Structure 1
Amino acid sequence: MKLKPCLTALALACAAGASFQAANAQEMKAEVIHWWTSGGESAAVKVFAEQFAKAGGTWVDTAIAGGVNARTAAINRVVGGTPPTAMQFNTGKQFDELVENDLLRDVDQIATEQKWKSFMPQAIIDATSRNGKMYAVPVNIHGQNWLWLSKAALEKAGASEPANWDEALVALEKLKAAGLIPLAFSGQKVWERGLFNAVLVGKGGTALWASIHGKRDPAAARSPEFRAVAETYGKLRGYIDPGAPGRNWNDATNLVIQGKAGMQIMGDWAKGEFAAAGQTAGKEFGCAILSNEGGYVMGGDVFAFPKLKDPAQQKAQLVLAKVMLEPETQIRFAQKKGSIPVRLDLDVSSLDACAQKAVKLLADKKHQVAAQEMLSPPALTGAMEDVISQYWNTPAMTADAFMAKVADVLKQPF
């Protein structure tokens, strides 16, 4: 006689369980804004989505082409009161104003629990910390000053793989003589600055890098060492093709993949494009850091979490943070993205030859060079970018005039 009430109780329990499962699925739903839209990048972000799904979550992908566009859209959403669960920034100062206005959630508790600071480079920790607390999850380390080269193109030109900028100029001249595009280039301001920075750290050295981007010393911009950087950078104009202005970076990479161009200076995210094309480091393409000192410019990507009132969304943020730094996720992501893990405590033997070079370099702290974005506020980075772009696109501008403009920028308060 008591069977019916038992069945009723069981039904209620099942309904409650179903409601709990539905709520749990809902609370693990995470909208993520990012700018990873190229072939290699899309394959990489899929790793995060898959690993989050394994943890019981649903990744809602909001991909917006272009870093500036994606960041602007994300910030507007936060300020407008409709924030995403997570949003991408470059490792550095891009999210400072969100922290200052108390719009970001700190991740210090999970960072402490998971002992993040025990396996990340100090420069990365510093770049994501404000007032002693971490406010973003670093997910990788990108080397910004890599040289990528087509082995077939260099062989056709009779050129050797360069180890420094002096040797690179010799190889570029041979590629030009062979009728190939010597330097595949994306003629956009951000990549004009990227090329300049590669020359700055490689030709000028790590001390000059620190003086310009770290100490912001105007005298350094008037030094003989900086003059050599400016002159070398100016020479590179003669090795690009007419199609460079406005070209996307991955289209420039594709010229190297196809053997139409000999070299490209680009961060190691370009390696993901080679992988997506089925090419192997050391076989079809090569890689090098053009530097006598081995200065490796460390950039990268982070995810920040807006302050949200919904406990379900807060939980999703913590799960995302944990999943992104799990060893398996880190290795799989690096294999697709071209970066190396932000965790320096992992077995990276499964990564490619270029990644192995990067890990070996970063094992020595003197090779760890903080990226410009980590050292300079966005306004200063933008001002430097404007001056660099003006010099690059004005062949008649002298090195002296450029040096004076850089010195003037460094004098300004930012």
Structure 2
Amino acid sequence: MTKQGRGGLAAGWLAAWALAAGAAQAAAPAGPRAEVMHWWTSSSESAAVRKFAEAYRAAGGVWVDTAVAGADQAKAVAINRIVGGNPPTAAQFNTTKQFRDLIDQGSLNNVDDIAARDHWDQLMPGPMLDVIRVNGHYYALPVDIHMSTWIWYSKAAFKKAGIAKEPATPDELFAALDQLKAAGVVGLAHGGQPWQENILFQAMLANVGGKQLYLQVLRDRDPKALNSEAFKKVLVAFKRLQSYVDTGSPNRNWNDATAMLISGKAGVQIMGDWAKGEFAAAKQTAGKDYGCIAGLGPAVPYLIQGDAFVFPKTTNADAVKAQKLLATSMLAPAAQLEFSKLKGSLPVRSDIDVASMDACAQAGMAIMKDKSRQVGMIEVFLTPDQNGALQDVLTAFWNTKMPVEKAQKSIAAALRD
């Protein structure tokens, strides 16, 4: 047989195989199709969300990934599509008041049956349940727990600066920042964006002010607390952090700030535990290459936030089936564990064994067992408008020579009901 003849026969067999495979695939019933809208686009986030996609496909579903860069942009797109009558099957939000308007407008399906079946009230943190449960109904699926004010530090940078002991108080943290600065290392790796300054403020409010003042300021919005000397001390500590950032800080992304710790260029970053995903992607190990501090003291509140998916209102039976399969597959123990390892979060279910997770995750899970330290992060207590007004003041205070007294009065005004 000629070379051409052999090639023609092979092509014929290949074509026949392709037709048969195509027919078999066409005959196989397609599972529930779910378009999942999210903002997980960094390297660690993308790797993590693939674990949810794999779990959904393994359960028989068809995952359609719609990633939108930037949380604010993704939420805006999701809301516009829901209001416009072309909703995705599920859309990512944070476990805050961000989606309360959608609930009030009757735009979301509840997941009461999943919550009852999986015992959410027993297995999930109270601050999260308080947000997603409205008038006795559950309107979002929490998928992870993040703590927004972890203090990360580079072991290499600390060694270079001669810092032998991990900071255990606010005074010790500032002393370490001074040593880093003196050693020619950037003390605080920070991205000069309003939401990141908000995180620094929360960190100082929790660590310098303590749980009582934190709740008085954010939950109660108590004028006496807002105008107190204790709150002024918090604002002074917040502004002091600005003296340790580098000139490249403005508009830097959070993951680029984390990269400064990974390279040893900077010593400290105050950021949520999603930063841990960047360390993992760089093959760095907690306790060996970097350290993590959940709070500068044994009673500092553990500020809980997380990610959740809402399910837009639909009566389409296939869409509802897809929503329920998503809820089931995302909360499966194996999916929860593998997702959290890559994302840097904690599993949202307290019954999951985290022995295979890193040292920081295990420390966080241990703290979570003390319910007195479980406190909602800032957006759990504030409406988006209130949070935006507070953020405006904090950013102005951070970037200008605004007197602390003016900042204090402006925050009191921003949080006034």
Indicate yes or no: 2:375 matched with 1:369: yes
Query: In 2, are the aligned partners of 1:181 and 1:239 still within 8 Å (CA)?
Result: yes
1:41 is matched with: 45
Counterpart residue number, 2:121: 117
Question: Among 340, 360, 365, which residue is 1:354 paired with?
Answer: 360
Identity %: 48
The 5 A counterparts of 1:197-216 are: 197-216=202-221
**Is the aligned partner of 1:183 residue 2:194?**
no
Which residue of structure 2 lines up, in the alignment, with residue 252 of structure 1?
257
**Residue type of the alignment partner of 2:368:** L
SS of the aligned residue for 2:144 comes to coil
Amino acid in the other structure paired with 1:78:
I
**Structure 1 residues 69-96: Cα deviation after superposition (integer angstroms, max 9, x where no partner):** 0000000011111100000001011001
Calculate the TM-score normalised by the size of structure 2. Answer: 0.92
Q: Which residue of structure 2 aligns with residue 173 of structure 1?
A: 178
Q: Which residue of 1 is the match for residue 90 of structure 2?
A: 86
Which one of 116, 124, 144 corresponds to residue 140 of structure 1? 144
8 Å contact kept, 2:295–2:302 = no
- Aligned position for 1:390: 396
AA paired with 1:263? V
Contact 2:45 2:342 in 1 (8 A): yes
Backbone CA RMSD of aligned residues: 1.3
Deviation (angstroms), 1:136: 0.2
Match of 1:295 in 2: 301
Report the Cα offset of residue 212 of structure 1.
1.0
TM-score after normalising by structure 1: 0.93
Q: Is the 8 A contact 1:218 1:408 kept in 2?
A: no
CA contact (8 A) 1:154 1:161 kept: no
> What is the deviation of 1:339?
0.6
CA distance in 2, matches of 1:215, 1:291: 24
Equivalent of 1:307, from 297, 309, 313? 313
Q: Distance in 1 between matches of 2:169 and 2:405?
A: 24
Q: Structure 2 CA distance, aligned partners of 1:373 and 1:322?
A: 27
Between the aligned partners of 2:26 and 2:321, the Cα distance in structure 1 is: 18
2:82–2:88 CA contact under 8 A, matched in 1: yes
Task: Say how many residue pairs are matched.
Answer: 392
Unpaired stretches in structure 1, ≥5 consecutive residues: 1-16
Residue 332 (structure 1) aligned to one of 338, 354, 360: 338
Residue 21 of structure 1: how far off its partner (Å): 4.2
**Matches of 1:271 and 1:164, distance apart in 2:** 22
Q: How does 1:28-67 map to 2 (within 5 A)?
A: 28-67=32-71
AA partner of residue 124 (structure 1): M
Q: C-alpha separation between the residues in 2 aligned to 1:199 and 1:397?
A: 18
Tell me the SS of whatever aligns to 1:94: helix
User: What is the CA deviation profile of residues 196-247 of structure 1, one whole-angstrom value per residue up to 9, with x for unaligned ones?
Assistant: 1111111100111101110011221111211110111111111000000000
Q: Distance in 2 between matches of 1:381 and 1:165?
A: 25
Deviation at 1:19, TM superposition (A): 8.0
Report if aligned partners of 2:167, 2:296 keep a CA contact under 8 Å in 1.
Answer: no
Matches within 5 A, 1:254-269: 254-269=259-274
1:254 CA drift (Å): 0.4
**Counterparts of 1:148 and 1:19, CA distance in 2:** 51
Alignment counterpart, residue 154 of structure 1, candidates 139, 153, 158: 158
Structure 1 range deviating more: 56-65 or 274-283: 56-65
1:316 aligns with one of 322, 334, 348: 322
Cα distance in 1, alignment partners of residues 172 and 25 from structure 2: 67
Q: How far apart, in 2, do the equivalents of 1:345 and 1:114 lie?
A: 11
CA distance in 2 between partners of 1:325 and 1:99 (Å): 22
Deviations 1:281-330 (A, max 9, x none): 00000000233223110000000000123211110000000111111111
Q: Structure 2, unaligned stretches of length 5 or more?
A: 1-23
**Partners in 1 of 2:381 and 2:91 — Cα distance?**
21
CA distance in 2, matches of 1:328, 1:167: 39
Q: Name the stretch that deviates more: 180-189 or 155-164.
A: 155-164
Distance of 1:156 and 1:18 partners within structure 2: 60
